[in-house]
Homo-oligomer: A and B are copies of this chain.
Amino acid sequence: MQFSLFNPTRIIFGENTIEQIGGAIAEGGYERVLLVAGGGSIKQNGVYDTVISSLADANIERVECWGVRPNPVLGKVGEAIEIARVNNVQAVLAVGGGSVIDTAKAVAAGVFLDDIWQAFEWKVPITQALPIFTVLTLSATGSEMNGNAVLTNEQENKKWGIGNRLLYPKVSIVDPSVQKTLPWDQTVNGALDAIAHILEFYFHGTNEETTIAIDEALIKTIIDSVDKLQVDGLDVDSRANLAWAATLALNGIGGAGMRGGEWACHDIEHSISCLYPEIAHGAGLGIVFPAWMLFTHEANPKQFARFARNIWDCDDIEKAIFKMRTKIESWKGFVRLRDLGIAKDRLSAIAANATMIRSLGRLRVLERSDVESILNIAY
């Protein structure tokens, strides 16, 4: 078990905490921010009003950039960088879900670069970034407490990621109660994304009992929370437990000692939602992961058997995968690529996109034909 862990993000968690955002930014000495947001749901649920009133109380000026979409794109980042530069902002404030936060991170680094995409190509290092603050409205990606961002270059059909110490938010506010009004499918997709983050580490497990046991605790808590929210979407305790588990899934705790994890399923899904940007990342993962598990479980049979036993109370991994898909269906989630409107003859193009640069995976290395096999299982 070898790892390094450093996570300097301050989390402020709980109901009615959003009003602290202005003070948190002012404490850092910043007076003018770029507020990055999505399609407008924060104007419906009151989050926007709370944020701007908190900014005003703390004497923080703001300029705004709206319209970040799920599966966020480079074009919008360019637009936001321009606004940030023209207005000489000192910090970036993301108010939204993972797409908004990832866009804000790309902007924070991008204002110091000629072409931020070169950093996603790993051709140019990130050596400076504006400080990032976030108000989270959808628990899923964990981006509120890590240094990662994923972006689609819509011109080149590449959905790729960056990770940098400078991109950890300074402060992230997580008020799970604002997620009460989320559409049900977004709650489910967020949970599936969080479970997928844990599984990307978990299946590499051998003897890292502390992390493995925490991962199982997180997965079971997420499943239990979604089950309870399906009965009562206003259950604030379950919103809170789901939210905190999703943060822990990808803040360093869920993966400590797991040698970086797997990430084949994420790579495959990124190609799906790159080519089909209307498909939610979490929904894609909920379909790809079980298929990958069927394809790969013999590469670490002991850990997959443990997953079957401890999560699904079942002594056969194929039965456990069936139970997992049944659970996703019970949440009204998708379990087949065909149900997402993907034409079967496009699977080959998805596999080609996913393996554009290199083969995927580590437990079992996946060439283009392997990815195509997994996509066929998932279809």
Give A residues with C-beta under 8 Å from B: 1-15, 17, 176, 207-211, 213-214, 216-218, 220-221, 224-225, 237-238, 240-241, 244-245, 248, 253, 256-257
The CA-CA distance from A5 to B172 in the complex, in Å, is 10
**Do A10 and B4 have beta carbons less than 8 Å apart?**
yes
**Do B213 and A240 have beta carbons less than 8 Å apart?**
no
Distance to closest chain B CB from A184 (angstroms): 20
Q: Which residues of B contact A214 (CB under 8 A)?
A: 214, 217-218, 248
Q: Which residues of B contact A209 (CB under 8 A)?
A: 221, 224-225, 237-238, 241
The 3 closest A-B pairs by CB, nearest first: A2-B14, A213-B217, A6-B10
Between A and B, 5 residue pairs with Cβ closer than 8 Å are: A3-B11, A4-B13, A5-B11, A208-B241, A210-B218
The CA-CA distance from A17 to B225 in the complex, in Å, is 39
Q: Which residues of B contact A216 (CB under 8 A)?
A: 217
**Do A244 and B210 have beta carbons less than 8 Å apart?**
yes
Q: Which residues of B contact A207 (CB under 8 A)?
A: 237, 241
Q: Which residues of B contact A6 (CB under 8 A)?
A: 8-11
**Do A257 and B208 have beta carbons less than 8 Å apart?**
no
**Do B5 and A10 have beta carbons less than 8 Å apart?**
yes
Q: Which residues of B contact A7 (CB under 8 A)?
A: 7
Given contacts A210-B244, A217-B217, A257-B244, contact A237 B10 (CB under 8 A): no
Distance to closest chain B CB from A47 (angstroms): 18
The CA-CA distance from A3 to B15 in the complex, in Å, is 10
Q: Which residues of B contact A241 (CB under 8 A)?
A: 1, 207-210
Task: Known pairs A207-B241, A217-B217, A244-B257; list 14 more (Cβ under 8 Å).
Answer: A2-B14, A4-B11, A5-B10, A5-B11, A13-B256, A13-B257, A208-B241, A209-B221, A210-B221, A210-B244, A210-B248, A213-B218, A214-B214, A216-B217
Distance to closest chain B CB from A222 (angstroms): 9
Distance to closest chain B CB from A104 (angstroms): 20
* Closest chain B residue to A239, Cβ basis: B1
**Do A13 and B5 have beta carbons less than 8 Å apart?**
yes
The CA-CA distance from A147 to B266 in the complex, in Å, is 36
* Closest chain B residue to A17, Cβ basis: B2
Distance to closest chain B CB from A175 (angstroms): 10
Given contacts A10-B6, A217-B217, A257-B13, contact A210 B245 (CB under 8 A): yes
Distance to closest chain B CB from A13 (angstroms): 5
The residue in A207, A241, A257 that gathers the most chain B C-beta atoms within 10 A of its C-beta is: A241
Q: Which residues of B contact A15 (CB under 8 A)?
A: 2
The CA-CA distance from A109 to B241 in the complex, in Å, is 37
* Closest chain B residue to A207, Cβ basis: B237
Q: Which residues of B contact A5 (CB under 8 A)?
A: 10-11, 13
Distance to closest chain B CB from A35 (angstroms): 22
The CA-CA distance from A237 to B15 in the complex, in Å, is 40
Distance to closest chain B CB from A101 (angstroms): 17
Given contacts A209-B224, A210-B248, A214-B214, contact A2 B13 (CB under 8 A): yes
